[in-house]
Amino acid sequence: MQEHLIIFDTTLRDGEQSPGASMTKEEKVRIAWQLERMRVDVIEAGFPAASNGDFEAVKAVADSVKESTVCALARAIEVDIQRAGEALKCAKSSRIHTFIATSPIHMQNKLRMAPEQVIEQAVKAVKWARRYTDNVEFSPEDAGRSEVDFLCRILELVIDAGATTLNIPDTVGYTMPDQFGKLINQLRERIPNSDKAIFSVHCHNDLGLAVANSLTAVMNGARQIECTINGLGERAGNASLEEIVMAVRTRQDYFPCDTRIDATHIVSASKLVSSITGFPVQPNKAIVGANAFAHESGIHQDGVLKHRETYEIMRAEDVGWGENKLLLGKHSGRNAFRTRLTELGIEFESEEMLNSMFARFKELADKKHEIFDEDLQALASDEVIVSHECFRLVSLIVHSETGEVPYARIVISENGNEIHAEARGSGPVDATFRAIESLLNSESQLQLYSVNNITSGTDAQGEVTVRLYKSDRIVNGQGADTDIVVASAKAYLNALNKLCHKLERAHPQV
């Protein structure tokens, strides 16, 4: 029988550690539902000890997810593990993932601990975690730069203490595929009780080798891969879930295992994560990029028309590409609208939120001839934003004329009270942002302004991402509208809402 390759998705934890990618509790639950629909085995929902907000988000995911195992990260510290256990209390299936650094550079310079102290702490951590669940994962952080003999010692002891999964992370993306594969093979052969645990890998993409390292590990006995949607994650990101899943599935002649992922939900998951985080997917991104199944060359087009497999090793529809036009309009009923949202994995906490989105859908249907699934994803994200904001755009007037300095007049609702201002700028967007700043005086720095069309056509909604920096905090704001300037104002206000209300979040590796 084909062996099962476990997919451990850490979009909600490691993916969120991308600067500006922090998610609200509601956004984490939406992504978790989509991951569950995709049949992801394990969802790492966050790091409960980092903040009250992260604790509540992990708890909300644990309460909402029924089919996938929900995992929480914890340092090898008793209070962290206790917090993780509390957050996972209501999970149908739970896992605690605890870690401690094992490389000489980390033990000496970060932990300031001797190797024997690290071993002792790791064993204690696993035993603490076993109080809350029998599904315990242990990671020797920076395993790629750790000494093999030391890894064998600590991993043997944590297995004896009750660890059921051993995750071998290439934390800084330093290891080469052949080197990493040999490491996995060595550990499995040299650790006497290695057969009592599943070997996992968590590879970072600093040298662009995260997927290659992960797949090489699979060929050397690893049976869990930790990855993220769109390869989101710290620095250059993590191994990409969609690339891992489709590489293994497409090359079943090569790999001795397969995942249980329903790949038809991959594209919708990619779009949802991109919409929520504000990180656009590059057009040439494998599997989920807009050009992933596009053919420009005449020779390629001719070959595909004659026989698809001449230039396509996968079918676009197998990963969720295809006709996604919503055949609804301004005369469509609420039931048809709700049904399509359910099919897309979009759910709301209350009937009021659904009714509000339906009204916004009607408004959009008056502006656009065709409504696409991407439009609904943007509307859903916008609805969650609107329901949790203190600053809200009420109205905007912008004047831009050749030879004249652009002018903007804006009205904002601040906790229910309307305030207004006007300003001039080098362009309509600049004038709008200046008007907002004259009212709210955030003293933040604009680090990124990005515009992407959600669908095709001149009537398409534009999705704007704004990244703001203030006091060592980076946040992304998103806004969507058929008017780019309005979308820009929404995005800027969304970022300011996050700056004003987002809880401070400790980095798990500090």
Rounded mean pLDDT, 128-146: 97
Is pLDDT above 90 for 28?
yes
Helical H segments across 368-461, by residue range: 373-387, 428-440
- Any idea which residue has 């994650």 for tokens? 233
Is pLDDT above 80 for 172?
yes
Q: What is the DSSP string of 80-127?
A: HHHHHHHHTTT-SSEEEEEEEE-SHHHIIIII---HHHHHHHHHHHHH
Cβ-in-10-Å burial (0-12, 13-18, 19+) of 469 comes to middle
Based on the fold, state whether residues 191 and 309 are members of the same structural domain: no
Residue 279 has a pLDDT of: 87
The whole-angstrom separation of Cα 496 and Cα 296 is: 42
Is pLDDT above 90 for 71?
yes
Domain presence at residue 411: yes
CB 480 within 8 A of CB 454: yes
Rounded mean pLDDT, 396-411: 96
Is pLDDT above 70 for 36?
yes
The whole-angstrom separation of Cα 406 and Cα 298 is: 45
The whole-angstrom separation of Cα 339 and Cα 299 is: 42
Cβ count near 75 (within 10 Å): 22
Higher model confidence: residue 341 or residue 433?
A: 433
Q: What is the mean pLDDT of the chain?
A: 89
Residue 510 has a pLDDT of: 38
The whole-angstrom separation of Cα 233 and Cα 298 is: 37
Domain presence at residue 413: yes
Domain presence at residue 283: no
Is pLDDT above 90 for 277?
no
Based on the fold, state whether residues 273 and 362 are members of the same structural domain: no
| β-strand partners of 414 | 391, 417
CATH number of the CATH domain containing 459: 3.30.160.270
SS3 for 473? strand
Rounded mean pLDDT, 293-311: 64
pLDDT digits (tens, 9 = 90+) for 82-97: 999 999 999 999 999 9
Domain presence at residue 509: no
Rounded mean pLDDT, 104-109: 96
Q: How far apart are the first and last CA of the chain?
A: 43
Domain presence at residue 138: yes
pLDDT digits (tens, 9 = 90+) for 354-378: 888 888 888 887 777 667 777 777 7
Establish how many alpha carbons lie within 13 A of residue 204's alpha carbon, considering only the half-sphere containing its beta carbon.
20
CB 266 within 8 A of CB 257: no
Based on the fold, state whether residues 338 and 480 are members of the same structural domain: no
CATH number of the CATH domain containing 30: 3.20.20.70
Domain presence at residue 217: yes
Instruction: Note the pTM of the prediction, 2 decimals.
Output: 0.84
Based on the fold, state whether residues 21 and 128 are members of the same structural domain: yes
Domain presence at residue 264: yes
Based on the fold, state whether residues 205 and 331 are members of the same structural domain: no
Rounded mean pLDDT, 462-491: 89
Is pLDDT above 80 for 329?
no
Based on the fold, state whether residues 243 and 301 are members of the same structural domain: no
Based on the fold, state whether residues 297 and 183 are members of the same structural domain: no
Sign of the CA dihedral 95, 40, 258, 17? Answer: negative
- Expressed as residue numbers, the domain containing 183 is 3-277
Rounded mean pLDDT, 186-207: 98
Rounded mean pLDDT, 103-117: 96
Residue 509 pLDDT level (bands cut at 50, 70, 90): very low
Q: Which two tokens stand for residue 230?
A: 């769109």
Based on the fold, state whether residues 356 and 485 are members of the same structural domain: no
Based on the fold, state whether residues 164 and 306 are members of the same structural domain: no
Report the domain count for the chain: 4
Domain presence at residue 284: no
The least confident of 38-52, 431-445, 460-474 is 460-474
Residue 43 has a pLDDT of: 98
Rounded mean pLDDT, 395-399: 96
Based on the fold, state whether residues 434 and 313 are members of the same structural domain: no
Based on the fold, state whether residues 27 and 85 are members of the same structural domain: yes
The whole-angstrom separation of Cα 166 and Cα 162 is: 11
Burial 155-189 (b: 16+ CB within 10 A, else e): bbbbbebbbbbbbbbbbbbbbebeebbebbbebbe
Is pLDDT above 50 for 507?
no
Based on the fold, state whether residues 56 and 202 are members of the same structural domain: yes
The whole-angstrom separation of Cα 151 and Cα 182 is: 14
